Amino acid sequence: MGVWLCLLGLAVCNSLLLFISEFLINANKVGNSPEEIAAFLKDASGLNKTFIGDYLGEREELSLKVMHAYVDSFDFQGMEFDEAIRAFLQGFRLPGEAQKIDRIMEKFAERYCKCNPKVFSSADTAYVLAYSVILLNTDAHNPMVKNKMSAEDFIKNNRGIDDGKDVPEEYLRSLYERISRNEIKMKEVDLESQQKQAVNSNRLSGLDSILNIVVRKHGEDSNMETSDDRIQHMQEQFK
């Protein structure tokens, strides 16, 4: 199995990712159903987390089915929203492409709401709030951010996201405090850590690298009145 894991870890482009997945299936190293491939990506040790995120974010039919199966394998019932995000992001690194992030986080939001149907009015609320949590995590724990987002800022930025209604202030404040105290981090194998230190010395670590993509994408797709305020605030932090 070591040879196959090395191939997976060395994948560097989308066409190669898709080729390798098909190769492993044909070689009978992985089952051919989306559920079996998802289980392999979730449970096999030593896989490159960046590769997994890129693969799950692909729009090719098989990759989409695998991503759906992967997300649906999580049981978020009874979990706080940030706890679910932490659990979800343990197994892969969010890709750097906005459309890939969108596909993954939209499915996450749908799954969270299915497991916790009474928390939000719709999956759209969870989708928007997931982005807000990622941005807050970056704001709170990136030393480059000069002026940290306050709890009041976070609450203001998320007004009206629950089908035009406000998520309870107490809920948002508690979420803010947990994220501020405890950074959302992704587990990485030692090899990935070494690679990141070698080639990413001038890049932001953790979730920081997707900040600008997430902000820009959210601004393009959202019609909410709070979007411009949120985008402006986050951009100001990095001036």
Question: What is the set of active-site residues?
Answer: 97
Q: Using H for helix, E for strand and C for coil, what is the string for the chain?
A: CHHHHHHHHCCCCHHHHHHHHHHHHHCCCCCCCHHHHHHHHHHCCCCCHHHHHHHHCCCCHHHHHHHHHHHHCCCCCCCCHHHHHHHHCCCCCCCCCHHHHHHHHHHHHHHHHHHCCCCCCCHHHHHHHHHHHHHHHHHHHCCCCCCCCCHHHHHHHCCCCECCECCCHHHHHHHHHHHHHCCCCCCCCHHHHHHHHHHCCCCCCCCHHHHHHHHHHHHHHCCCCCHHHHHHHHHHHCC
